Chains A and B, each alone.
Chain A
Amino acid sequence: MWDYTDKVNDHFKHPRNVGKIENPDGTGEVGSLACGDALKLMFKLDGAGRIEEAKFQTFGCASAIASSSALTEMIIGKTLDEVEKITNKDIAAYLGGLPKQKVHCSVMGREALEAAIYNYRTGKTWNKELEGEVVCHCFGVTDKEIERVTRENNVQTLEALTNACKAGGGCGNCLPELQKIIDRVHGEQAASAAPEKKQLTNLQRIHLIEDVIDREIRPALRQDGGDLELIDVDGNTVKVRFRGACSGCVVSAITLKDVVEARLKDNVSENIRVEEVK
C-alpha cells in the first residue's frame, strides 16, 4: 500500500480540469501505453498571456492522475514565463509529497507542461529526441532529461534516478551510462556552486534567503491560502512566521522542514536551520 498524502488522494478521487480544450493554444503529450503512464495537457491563454484554461487526460496510477490534476491548478492564471519555472519538485510539494517510487509522476507533469509550451511557441509537436539522445531505451529517456532530473531532484543514486524518471528501471543495460551522467552532473555542480556559496557576505546571504522564499516557497504556500514571513537571520538559523492558513495548520511543522528548510538548504547552504516564531 502506498502512503499517499490526503492531497494526492483528493486529487486522484476528485481530479480537477479533466478533459480536452477545443482549439487549444498549446498541447503537450508525454508517456505511452507501453510505459504504463501518459499525460496529455492542453492550455488556452487569455488576452494578457495568462493561462485561462488548462485541461488534462491521464493514463496512469493514482499519483499520475493527482500530479496532472495538481499541475493544472498550479498553472491556471499564470503567464508562460511563470509556469516555465515550475519543477517536478514543485508539483510534488503542492501535493504534500509523493512516495519516492512515484516521483516520476511529477516529472511527467513537468514534461507535459514543457511540451505544451514548446507546442505553443513553435507550432510543432515536442518529442524527447528533439532535445537529447535516448539513453534508457526501455522507457525512452534522454541524456538531457536524466541530467535535468538529477539536477532538480539532487539525485545521488541510480535507484533515486529510476524513481524520478524511470531510466534504468527495465533491462538495466544503461545503468553504467546513467551512473556516468549522475557523476558528471554532480561534478559540474560542485565546480560551479562551491566558490559561490563560500563568497556570500552576510547581506548577500540574507538577500538570497529572501529571494528563495519569494521565488520558491511563497507561491506554494499561497496555493493553500497560507504565507510566510522572514523574521530574522542569525548565522545559519533562519526564523520565520507562518501566516494565513499556514498558521495553526497541523502540518505546518512538516511544511517547515520539508518545504521551507529543504528549499533553503538546496539554494543557500546545507547548514541552514529554520525555526518557527509563533
Chain B
Amino acid sequence: MRTVYLDNNATTQIADEVREAMMPFLTNLWGNPSSMHTFGGQVKKYVEAAREQVAALIGAADPQEITFTSCGSESNNLAIRGGAEAMDKPPHVITSKVEHAAVSGPCHYLEDRGFRLTKLDVDQLGRLDLDTLRREVKAGKTLTSIMWANNETGVIFPVGMIGEMVHEAGGIFHTDAVQAVGKIPMKVRDLPIDMLSLSGHKLHAPKGVGAIYIRRGTKVKPLILGGYQERGRRAGTENVPYIVGLGVACDLAAKHLKEENTRVKALRDRLEQGILSTCPGARLNGDPKSRLPNTTNISFDFIEGEAILLMLDDRGICASTGSACASGSLEPSHVLRAMNVAGVSVHGSIRFSFSTYNSDEDVDAVLTELPKVVKRLRELSPFVV
C-alpha cells in the first residue's frame, strides 16, 4: 500500500540532498571543530557555512545571531528561561493560549517560580487578542513569546505588529517560528523580533537539530553550561553532521519557498475544498485569510478524530488529530478549546499538512477515502439522525 504522508507539521522526510551533505561528517570528517589541529579544525568552516545558510533563510543581519541547538524545544526553553533570567529584574511573561507545549512549558516553569504570567486568548478563527496584548505589555517590562504560526491550524500571527507593541513598551519579543520557517518568507533583520526558534526536522533535516536566532544585543543566560561552543550560549561539542544537514535544508527551503506558496498551497486548497464540499458536517478550523500555505484543520460533526485517523491509517493515509482520545489526556486540543470550537466537532478534528514532496495523487487518495470513512463513522454515531 502506498503511504500518503500528510503530517508534515509533525515531522518531514529527510531530503536526499540533506542526507548526502551529512554523510562526509558521519564518515571521514569526524573531527571536533574546536580542535587546534587541521584534522578537527577544518570542520569548523562547515559549521559556519551552515550558520550562514540558516541566517539567510530567515533574513538575519549577521550569521553570529544564529545559535545551534538540539531541537525547537531547546530553542524555546533557551529563549524563555534564558531570556527571562538574563533580564535586570524578573519580567512579566506574556504568551498565548495556543502555544506549543515547548513554549507553555517554560512559561509555566517561570510562573511557578514567581514570575507573573499572562496567557492571551484567541477568537473563534484563532486570531490573537491584540487589545489585551496592547494593555498588558505596558504593565511592566515583558518577555513576550508568541508563535509565528500555529502548528495545529496554521493560523499566522502578526509578529511584526506584536513585536512593535512589545518594543514600544521596552520588552523583549520571542517567536516560536518552528512551523513558519521555510513555509513563508521572512526577514528578521527588518522585524522587531529579538529571538526566534526553528527546528530542523520540520524542514527536511533530521530530528535532533534546531537553532535559535538571538538578535545582537539581546541577553540570554545559557541553559547548558560548561564550554565555549556557540559563543558560550550553548555548551557541548557541536553536532556537526546535523548542523550541516540543517544548513542544506535551509538552502533547499529557500529554493522551495515559492513552490510552497504556489503548488503546495494549491494542493492544500484542493484538498480542503474537496473535503468541505463532499463530507457532511465538515468545517474549517482557523482563519482562512491568514494561514500557512501547507496546513488545513477540519472538524467533522458528531464523529471522533481518533476513529477517523485510524480508519485513514488503515488506508495508508497519515494525518493527525486534536481529539482527546488520541492523546490519552481526555481533553481535546488546547488550541481548538481556546478557539471555542463547537462541542459537536471539537473531538473530531483532523489536520492535514503538506510538504513539497506531496503530489496530486495524495490529494486524490484522501478525497477518495475520507468521504467513505466519514460516512461509515456517521452511520455508527448516535448523534447523526
Q: CB within 8 A of B347: which of A29, A36, A63, A170?
A: A36
For the complex, give the distance between the alpha carbons of A65 and B310 in Å.
Answer: 12
* A33 touching B307, Cβ below 8 Å: no
Q: CB within 8 A of A59: which of B328, B329, B381?
A: B381
Q: CB within 8 A of B326: which of A15, A18, A61, A64?
A: A61
Which has the most chain B C-beta neighbours within 10 Å: A40, A59, A65, A139?
A59
| A-B contact number at CB 8 A | 72
B346 to chain A minimum Cβ distance, whole angstroms, is 8
Q: B residues 315-357 with Cβ under 8 Å of A?
A: 323-326, 328-332, 343-344, 347
Q: B residues 175-189 with Cβ under 8 Å of A?
A: none
Given A12-B310, A65-B307: A166 touches B382 (CB 8 Å cut-off) = no
For the complex, give the distance between the alpha carbons of A219 and B294 in Å.
Answer: 52
Which has the most chain B C-beta neighbours within 10 Å: A29, A36, A38, A170?
A36
* B380 touching A15, Cβ below 8 Å: yes
* A36 touching B332, Cβ below 8 Å: yes
* A13 touching B302, Cβ below 8 Å: no
Q: CB within 8 A of B323: which of A15, A36, A39, A40?
A: A36
Q: CB within 8 A of B307: which of A12, A38, A101?
A: A12
Given A13-B314, A33-B343: A59 touches B330 (CB 8 Å cut-off) = no
* A36 touching B380, Cβ below 8 Å: no
Question: Given the complex, which residues of A lie within 8 Å of B383, measured CB to CB?
Answer: 33, 38, 59
Question: Given the complex, which residues of B lie within 8 Å of A38, measured CB to CB?
Answer: 382-383
Question: Given the complex, which residues of B lie within 8 Å of A60, measured CB to CB?
Answer: 304, 307, 325
Determine if B379 is an interface residue (Cβ-Cβ < 8 Å): yes
B267 to chain A minimum Cβ distance, whole angstroms, is 26
* B343 touching A139, Cβ below 8 Å: no
Determine if B303 is an interface residue (Cβ-Cβ < 8 Å): yes
Q: B residues 291-317 with Cβ under 8 Å of A?
A: 302-307, 310-311, 314
Determine if A96 is an interface residue (Cβ-Cβ < 8 Å): no
* A59 touching B331, Cβ below 8 Å: no
Determine if A57 is an interface residue (Cβ-Cβ < 8 Å): yes
* B381 touching A57, Cβ below 8 Å: yes
CB-based nearest B residue for A19: B379
Question: Given the complex, which residues of A lie within 8 Å of B343, measured CB to CB?
Answer: 33-34
A4 to chain B minimum Cβ distance, whole angstroms, is 8
Contact with B along A177-209 (1 / 0, CB 8 A): 000000000000000000000000000000000
How many residues belonging to A are interface residues under a CB distance threshold of 8 Å? 29
Given A37-B325, A60-B304, A61-B306: A169 touches B382 (CB 8 Å cut-off) = no
Given A33-B343, A36-B347, A37-B325: A58 touches B381 (CB 8 Å cut-off) = yes
For the complex, give the distance between the alpha carbons of A102 and B329 in Å.
Answer: 10
Determine if A80 is an interface residue (Cβ-Cβ < 8 Å): no
* A169 touching B329, Cβ below 8 Å: yes
Determine if A62 is an interface residue (Cβ-Cβ < 8 Å): yes
B140 to chain A minimum Cβ distance, whole angstroms, is 29
* A65 touching B382, Cβ below 8 Å: no
Question: Given the complex, which residues of A lie within 8 Å of B379, measured CB to CB?
Answer: 18
Question: Given the complex, which residues of A lie within 8 Å of B330, measured CB to CB?
Answer: 36, 139, 162, 166, 169-170
Given A38-B383, A61-B307, A62-B306: A33 touches B344 (CB 8 Å cut-off) = yes
Contact with B along A10-44 (1 / 0, CB 8 A): 00110100100000000001000110111110000
Question: Given the complex, which residues of B lie within 8 Å of A59, measured CB to CB?
Answer: 302-304, 380-383
Q: CB within 8 A of B382: which of A13, A29, A63, A102?
A: A29
Question: Given the complex, which residues of A lie within 8 Å of B325, measured CB to CB?
Answer: 36-37, 60-61, 63-64, 102
Question: Given the complex, which residues of B lie within 8 Å of A34, measured CB to CB?
Answer: 343
B163 to chain A minimum Cβ distance, whole angstroms, is 34
* B324 touching A58, Cβ below 8 Å: no
Question: Given the complex, which residues of B lie within 8 Å of A57, measured CB to CB?
Answer: 380-382
Question: Given the complex, which residues of B lie within 8 Å of A169, measured CB to CB?
Answer: 329-331
Question: Given the complex, which residues of A lie within 8 Å of B332, measured CB to CB?
Answer: 36
Question: Given the complex, which residues of B lie within 8 Å of A99, measured CB to CB?
Answer: 328
Given A60-B325, A61-B326, A64-B325: A36 touches B382 (CB 8 Å cut-off) = no
Question: Given the complex, which residues of A lie within 8 Å of B331, measured CB to CB?
Answer: 169-170
Question: Given the complex, which residues of A lie within 8 Å of B382, measured CB to CB?
Answer: 29, 38-40, 57-59
For the complex, give the distance between the alpha carbons of A63 and B311 in Å.
Answer: 13
For the complex, give the distance between the alpha carbons of A39 and B173 in Å.
Answer: 48
* A33 touching B347, Cβ below 8 Å: yes
Contact with B along A112-140 (1 / 0, CB 8 A): 00000000000000000000000000010
For the complex, give the distance between the alpha carbons of A166 and B344 in Å.
Answer: 19
Which has the most chain A C-beta neighbours within 10 Å: B314, B323, B325, B326?
B325
10 contacting pairs across A/B (C-beta < 8 A): A33-B302, A33-B347, A36-B347, A37-B304, A57-B381, A59-B303, A60-B307, A61-B304, A61-B306, A166-B330
Spell out A's residues near B (CB within 8 Å). 12-13, 15, 18, 29, 33-34, 36-40, 57-65, 99, 101-102, 139, 162, 166, 169-170
Beyond the given A57-B381, A59-B380, A61-B323, could you list 9 further A-B residue pairs with CB under 8 A, ordered by the A residue number? A13-B311, A18-B380, A33-B344, A33-B383, A36-B304, A59-B303, A61-B325, A64-B325, A169-B330
Instruction: Give 6 closest A-B pairs by Cβ, nearest first.
Output: A61-B325, A169-B330, A57-B382, A61-B306, A40-B382, A101-B328
